[in-house]
Amino acid sequence: MADNTRELDLDTFRTRFDQKAERSHWMSLHELGDEESFFASVSEEFPQQAVPLNDGVDRRDFVKLMGSSLALAGLSACTVPQEKIVPYVRQPENMVPGKPLFFATAMTLGGVATGVLVESHMGRPTKIEGNPDHPGSMGATDVFTQASILGLYDPDRAKTVRHLGNITTWTNFLGALGTELKPLKDAAGEGIAILTEHVTSPTLGAQMKTLLAALPKARWHQYEPHGRDNDLEGSRLAFGGAFASTWYAFDKADVVVSIDADFLASGPGSVRYARDFMSKRRVRRGTSSANRLYSIETMPTPTGTAADHRLPLKPSEIEKFAFALGGAFGVGPGASLGSEHDAWLKAVAKDLESSRGRSIVIAGPEQPAAVHALAHAINETLGNTGVTVFHSDPIDAAPAIGRESLRQLSADMAAGKVRVLLMVGVNPVFDAPADFGFAAALDKVPFRASLSLYFDETAELCHWHVPQTHYLESWGDARAFDGTTSIVQPLIAPLYNGRDAHELFAILTDDANMPYDIVRNYWKAQKPGLDFEASWNKWLRDGVIEGTALTPRAMPVALGAIAPSNRSGDVEVSFRPDPAVYDGRFANNAWLQELPKPITKLTWDNAALMSPATATKLGLVGDRGLPGEGNEQNLHLWSRRAPVIEIKHGSRALKVAAWVVPGHPDGAITLHTGYGRTRGGSVASPKEKAKGGGFNAYALRTSDALGYAVTQVVIAEGDYQLACTQLHHVMPDDRDIVRSGTLEEFTKNPALAEVHEGPHSGEMSLYPKWESETGYKWGLAVDTTVCTGCNGCVIACHAENNIAIVGKPQVMMGRELHWMRIDTYYKGSMKSPEFSVNQPLMCQHCENAPCEPVCPVEATSHSTEGLNEMTYNRCVGTRYCANNCPYKVRRFNYFQFADWDTESLKLMRNPDVTVRSRGVMEKCSLCVQRINAARIDAEREGRRIRDGEIRTACQAACPTQAIVFGDVADPNSVVSKLKAEPHSYRVLEEVNTNPRTSYLGAVRNKNKEIAG
Amino acid sequence: MEQNNPMSQPPSQSRFDRPPVIAPGHSFGSITDKISSIVLRKDTPKGWILGFGIAFIFVMMMMYAIAWLLMWGVGVWGLNNPVAWGFDITNFVWWVGIGHAGTLISAILLLLKQEWRTSINRFAEAMTLFAVACAGMFPALHTGRPWFDYWLMPYPNTMALWPQFRSPLVWDVFAISTYGTVSFLFWYVGLIPDLATLRDRTEHKGLKIVYGLLAMGWRGSAKHWFRYETAYLLLAGLATPLVVSVHTVVSFDFATSVIPGWHTTFFPPYFVAGAIFSGFAMVLTLAIPIRKAYGLEDFITMRHIENMAKVMLATGLIVAYAYVMEVFFAWYSGNSYEKFLAFDTRPKGPYWWAFWALWTCNIAIPQLLWFKKMRTTPWILWILSIIVNIGMWLERFVIIVTSLHRDYLPSSWGMYDPTKYEYMLFFGTIGLFVALLFLFIRSLPLISIFEMRTLLPEASVHHKEEH
């Protein structure tokens, strides 16, 4: 410190950082600082940092250092958490290189847990699987869970504590917080506000309880942009003021009426619900009955596509429908629906009536409380409660109506009542209702801090930002939809020195324990009579704490005065969480961004989704033509030049690109939230407009119109590019690609073949028949009846097979690399499709594969067990195979798409799968790495591979078990039995490709009383 | 020769009322002077410099496009998932087809003793060589990892791997490399006597050595001539099947696939006819201006021009028949995918313009060749030949792109929009082709001197006897 000029000149560096902030992201201080003097100053200022060896290294020391560096280089990746974590099956003392371990933990979304098993290679979590023992998973997962592994390794995550945007330390934060809190603590916590997501964690709930007991005037707020507010309010309306959680047993229901609920693909418990629901409609030879689903919804959802009858209604009409349905059972004030849908309603009511005690009426989370209350009352009337519908105490640690909670907080802040605001895992500046003026009110809080994964919109307006740990890095606990509690255990030490809510709140209550001890101590106190260590290990291993499911309670319905909201208009805009980025929290997850959304197949953006008739009415068609009418090119033209509209809701307006969705009701627009991010990572808010980013629907969403808003729409200037992966939905009539029919048709004509099969020569060939040397013949069967098109398989495949992301401009060019896609075809006209069929399509592993003989270098060849194999390092890239593939499932690396440079992404990759280079072809391998792992196990044990022992990534993730892999040479295997079903068919069989993948035709259980 | 007064009456005029293959008034010396002077003149004509300069700019553009391609990958082109081949293979097939006329003229017409071929065979062969060079570039560059292209060759290697002999792309490698080699040998052997002439006539010492080396000691002895004739005939025999086989193999790239629009058994004859059609169109495109610029009307006479126009008409009719049959088969087969392609995608789909432009260029407009007036008016024929060239390019584009962009599963349908790098490479190869032709015209006799001399009445044995 002799030299005064070496003092830390913060202003200079601040200026420099500001200039550098032009860059989208950076790896380390070295890149940002990039000047000797800066590091010199920093090391002077913070002498605890390691002193670099800058001189005096002789040759021997150098060699020693290099040697140990090399030896340790490999270890840097393997930062196992310090605390003892317990693997799911195998004991950790023998970590065998190349052998993954599986650990049970749980991921939460909106506070509700889905149990998962995390595959860990030498300390690196690489893949998420569902936990079969967890009631919310049953071994399957949804897209968010699958993609969360990328969230962990996301290079854009916040990496350091920041104060006013500058890098600082956790200790500094604690110091500043302590100073700020001291006077407030003396005043019983007056002026302290905490904002979290919905919390189900018992430990966190207990911590908050302690905190609020010590500081009774402190305020705890909870908010979720797509939370369970309406469910909770509805339960209060229905049960005389008591909060309740409701869950369903779809495996016991014969008739399900979904009032705007996408229960098969989103929301708490959806993974489990999808499994249960589909267990009643596995149509097999001789099946003559199945459950029946009526879906009343605006935007077609996976649930809607799986429904037997789907009634597209404007948001205001849905509410009316619910009241009318209530009226049919003498519940609530009733409503008249108008002649158009009256017959439909009557038929539904009759069907429900005839299935008393075996039916479910479920209301969607965006439906107002009154509709939830009506659904509870109808279920009660039908005797479903306690049989198929269960009510219990809420799963929330402290149930709160998020909307009102945040309204209160905004008001308090605006009134200057909040002195210290701590926000944990939320981003209200982005996603709060627009009328709360949250950002403006936030400005009045003298000390505001945010703990979150990304330096997001909220972090930007806070004084302090602390990086949050990912759930794979943290300890905790969380409840599933039915209350079952899981311990969340970390798979890896925090990559970026993140902190979690437990640690932060412990500090507020002067609890010196770390999260691990906090969680343990809580559970030790909860279960006093047990051998705690043994139980703890069991809980960690199983991923669930047995006996924690909430007990269903008989809750008498006391329906108060309810009335429809009577908001309606020419154009109603309904707000829904995005099927890929949810409420915006996954906006920086490139896997999810590039995931073709169900139905629309849009990637990288949201859009104003509307029916073809509405688009025509709004005057958007212009010279683009109407998709599906006349020139089939129109959808392509829309994707290149989608019209932009301006939606006006009161004083608020939003310009957004329009997209046409068949099956959407007229006079309504659906806007998915979560897009239009301005901070939060290079993927969430790309600098270049061409890279996507979408439109911020929250700008229109006010607290009185969270579900839908009545708006005016005008055409705006310009157009916008939308990257859609499937530009054709209606196929020429004579193509036998998807087979579908009603259950009645199935009983008459089990093959469901509507089209005369083209001329094909069957097994005729000049070549000798292919025989398997090992006796195994791998094959796949897909049941399109139960496929909801939820995309879980697509992301699972992505994670398992190290598939690269190509970005929006490349998707626009048709170069996405997904090994499997979900093809959605509509039946009926584009204007009012009867229903749609989802067909997951991956490499069909043809026995006469057209791709194989055309490859000039034999880079794609046939294994003796029937796999069509790609040898990446032999591939020259002529792309002949892709041209000659009738299914067009081969994907080509037109550029170096795989990221070979980002360090954190290297940790994420599956070590059993090659990371591909530029210029090579790739495609579904039927998870050959999993086949070989099972083969090694079986050979070591001297046995055959058992049926079901190998599960492909798509199969494992599928909530409805629509995909089955197995040995088709074994007539008793599940896959062989499926292939023997009468409605099993192979796509493009007439091309004589002889594919190993077969599909079961989609069967819908139509109600004869409803036409169409 | 029956005519005994060649100066006043052109040969064969009386019998067929056709223009002669060589204009009257020439002697051995005048032919040699005329043709060799184009090469041996000291000053390079300004027109040559201008033309070559423009072509060279296009070559530089091509180099830029190639550099960009190698740097970033084949993604700089507009190819995508359903359409994995676009301009690359379209251009490849187009160039290979163009080459065919050269081989046909030099080999088949030689064997058929069509002496009118003599004045056009040399530069038609050069055209073949240069077209094959341009063609070869596309398959070599279109791969994802061009630095491994040699894996398509059967060579002993440590991986103990052979190419996949079932793949038409491997057949292509053999077909094109054989074609290139034979065409080069044929062209070179045919050049030897003329190289000797140049050696003898040039006054420049350096050139004497260069032409001398290339002439391989040709002295014009009877033994030389005997050996030469034998070798030339043998090479012609070798080259003859290539005229049919090369484009047959190229057509297998498509015919052996399962894609509607490609999977067609009659592709081989259809492609061969198309190749000759486009080849003659290109010879005309080149011959008409060259003959004018170098005052070679005496050697490339109306007879040549008209004969080539007739070949175009004949092959064009075969091609037209093939187009019609393709549609007929689609209908007759009852195959819904084929029918959709023939009656929906191609005429009405997004590439309808390419389809109708193709039918216009290749079927409708060539019918003008029925009229003698059209066949004998050079500028009209020149425009016609360019239209046919465009039409033949469109034919390959339609076959490749429209078949791929909408095949079996509507979910995978897509569009192909070529990028500027594809245009740059395509026009760059045209530049390369033209630049090479300019170099050839300046440095080698573009018409075979010694063969032209044999066309003179004086060369005829009977003629001498009568004097």
Read off the pLDDT of residues A207-252 as tens digits, 9 standing for 90 and up. 999 999 989 999 999 999 998 999 999 999 888 888 999 999 999 9
Neighbours of A491 (CB within 10 A): 25
Say which DSSP state A266 is in. Answer: S
Q: Per-residue b/e over B372-397, b at no fewer than 16 CB within 10 Å?
A: eebbeebebbbebbebbbbbbbbbbb
* Nearest of B216, B197, B219, B261 to residue B397 by alpha carbon: B261
The tens digit of pLDDT for each residue in A320-359 reads: 899 999 988 888 888 888 778 888 899 999 999 999 999 9
On whether the CB atoms of residues B279 and B101 are closer than 8 A, the answer is: yes
**CB pair distance less than 8 Å for A816 and B81:** yes
Q: Which residues of A touch B337 (CB under 8 A)?
A: 735, 758
C-alpha span between A47 and A217 (Å, rounded): 41
The tens digit of pLDDT for each residue in A164-222 reads: 989 999 999 999 998 988 888 888 888 899 999 999 999 999 999 999 998 999 999 99
On whether the CB atoms of residues B452 and B22 are closer than 8 A, the answer is: yes
Burial class (CB in 10 A: 0-12, 13-18, 19+), A911: middle
Q: Which residues contact A131 (CB under 8 A, 6 or more apart)?
A: A104, A106, A115, A116, A117, A137, A139, A486, A543, A544
Which pLDDT score is estimated for B394? Answer: 94
Q: Which of residues 200 through 239 in chain B touch A, CB cutoff 8 A?
A: none
Residue B14 has pLDDT above 70, yes or no: no
For A539, list phi and psi in degrees, rounded to 5.
-60, -40
On whether the CB atoms of residues A856 and B163 are closer than 8 A, the answer is: yes
Which pLDDT score is estimated for A461? Answer: 92
Which pLDDT score is estimated for A51? Answer: 43
Residue A644 has pLDDT above 90, yes or no: yes
Which pLDDT score is estimated for B410? Answer: 86
C-alpha span between A611 and A825 (Å, rounded): 16
Q: How far is A840 from chain B (nearest CA, A)?
A: 11
Q: Token pair for residue A359?
A: 């039916």
- What is the mean predicted confidence (pLDDT) over A938-967? 93
Distances (CA, A) of B160 to A585, B151, B154, B163, B241: 52, 11, 10, 10, 33
Which pLDDT score is estimated for B10? Answer: 45
State the pLDDT confidence band at A945, using cuts at 50, 70 and 90.
very high
C-alpha span between A746 and A752 (Å, rounded): 6
Which pLDDT score is estimated for A561? Answer: 81
SS3 A444: coil
C-alpha span between B122 and B102 (Å, rounded): 8
Q: How far is B139 from chain A (nearest CA, A)?
A: 8
**CB pair distance less than 8 Å for B79 and A734:** no
Which pLDDT score is estimated for B36? Answer: 80
Q: Which residues of B touch A918 (CB under 8 A)?
A: 73, 144-145
Q: How far is B48 from chain A (nearest CA, A)?
A: 39
The angle formed by the CA atoms of residues A769, A775 and A781, to the nearest 5 degrees, is 80
On whether the CB atoms of residues A999 and A302 are closer than 8 A, the answer is: no
- What is the mean predicted confidence (pLDDT) over A709-714? 91
C-alpha span between A231 and A237 (Å, rounded): 10
Note whether B289 contacts A: Cβ–Cβ < 8 A: no
Which pLDDT score is estimated for B9? Answer: 44
C-alpha span between B240 and A299 (Å, rounded): 66
Long-range contacts of B326-332 (CB under 8 A, 24+ apart): B326/B264, B326/B266, B326/B270, B329/B264, B329/B266
State the pLDDT confidence band at A622, using cuts at 50, 70 and 90.
confident
Q: Which residues of A touch B161 (CB under 8 A)?
A: 857-858, 874
Which pLDDT score is estimated for A34? Answer: 54
Question: Which among A728, A816, A879 is the nearest to B413, CB-wise?
Answer: A728
Residue B8 has pLDDT above 50, yes or no: no
- What is the mean predicted confidence (pLDDT) over A32-59? 52
> Which residue of chain B has the CA closest to A852?
B167
Residue A5 has pLDDT above 80, yes or no: no
Amino acid identity of residue A95, one-letter, is: M
**CB pair distance less than 8 Å for A882 and B81:** yes
Lowest mean pLDDT among A801-810, A938-947, B35-44, B377-386: B35-44
On whether the CB atoms of residues B413 and B405 are closer than 8 A, the answer is: yes
* Nearest of A851, A853, A874, A864 to residue A772 by alpha carbon: A864
State the pLDDT confidence band at A825, using cuts at 50, 70 and 90.
confident
The tens digit of pLDDT for each residue in B262-285 reads: 998 889 999 999 998 998 899 899
Which pLDDT score is estimated for A475? Answer: 92
- What is the mean predicted confidence (pLDDT) over B323-341? 90
State the pLDDT confidence band at A41, using cuts at 50, 70 and 90.
low
**CB pair distance less than 8 Å for B164 and A882:** no
Q: How far is B92 from chain A (nearest CA, A)?
A: 13
**CB pair distance less than 8 Å for A735 and B408:** yes
Instruction: Check residues B201 and A627 and name the one with the higher pLDDT.
Output: B201
Residue with tokens 């490749």: B400
- What is the mean predicted confidence (pLDDT) over A59-77? 59
Residue A31 has pLDDT above 70, yes or no: no
Lowest mean pLDDT among A520-534, A647-661, A728-742: A728-742
Q: What is the mean pLDDT of chain B?
A: 87
The tens digit of pLDDT for each residue in A876-909 reads: 999 999 999 999 999 999 999 999 988 889 889 9
Q: How far is A476 from chain B (nearest CA, A)?
A: 44
Residue B466 has pLDDT above 50, yes or no: no
A:B CB pairs within 8 Å: 177
Q: Which residues of A touch B90 (CB under 8 A)?
A: none
SS3 A654: strand
Torsion of CA B401, B404, B409, B411, to 10 degrees: -50
Which pLDDT score is estimated for A49? Answer: 43
Note whether B78 contacts A: Cβ–Cβ < 8 A: yes
Which pLDDT score is estimated for A165? Answer: 85
Residue A37 has pLDDT above 70, yes or no: no
Name all domains of chain A by residue range, CATH numbers in brackets: 4-76 (no CATH), 229-279+290-392 (3.40.228.10), 571-724 (2.40.40.20), 740-755+775-1004 (3.30.70.20)
**CB pair distance less than 8 Å for B410 and A896:** no
Lowest mean pLDDT among A76-80, A530-534, A610-614: A76-80
Which pLDDT score is estimated for A84? Answer: 65
For A836, list phi and psi in degrees, rounded to 5.
-125, 155
Q: Which of residues 417 through 456 in chain B touch A, CB cutoff 8 A?
A: 417
Q: How far is A881 from chain B (nearest CA, A)?
A: 9
The tens digit of pLDDT for each residue in B183-240 reads: 899 889 989 998 998 898 888 888 899 999 999 888 888 888 888 888 988 888 888 8
Lowest mean pLDDT among A40-54, A651-665, A680-694, B257-271: A40-54
Q: Which residues of A touch B408 (CB under 8 A)?
A: 735, 737, 886-888, 988, 991
> Which residue of chain B has the CA closest to A726?
B411
Q: Which residues of B touch A807 (CB under 8 A)?
A: none
Q: Which of residues 165 through 184 in chain B touch A, CB cutoff 8 A?
A: 166-170, 173
SS3 A360: strand
Which pLDDT score is estimated for A559? Answer: 82
Q: Token pair for residue A634?
A: 């129109």
Question: Which among A823, A855, A920 is the nearest to B167, CB-wise?
Answer: A855
- What is the mean predicted confidence (pLDDT) over A971-976? 93
The angle formed by the CA atoms of residues A526, A527 and A531, to the nearest 5 degrees, is 145
Instruction: Check residues B315 and A5 and name the one with the higher pLDDT.
Output: B315
C-alpha span between A115 and A145 (Å, rounded): 9
State the pLDDT confidence band at A78, using cuts at 50, 70 and 90.
low
Lowest mean pLDDT among A49-58, B277-286, B352-361: A49-58
C-alpha span between A344 and A318 (Å, rounded): 13
Q: Which residues contact A407 (CB under 8 A, 6 or more apart)?
A: A433, A436, A703
For A718, list phi and psi in degrees, rounded to 5.
80, 180
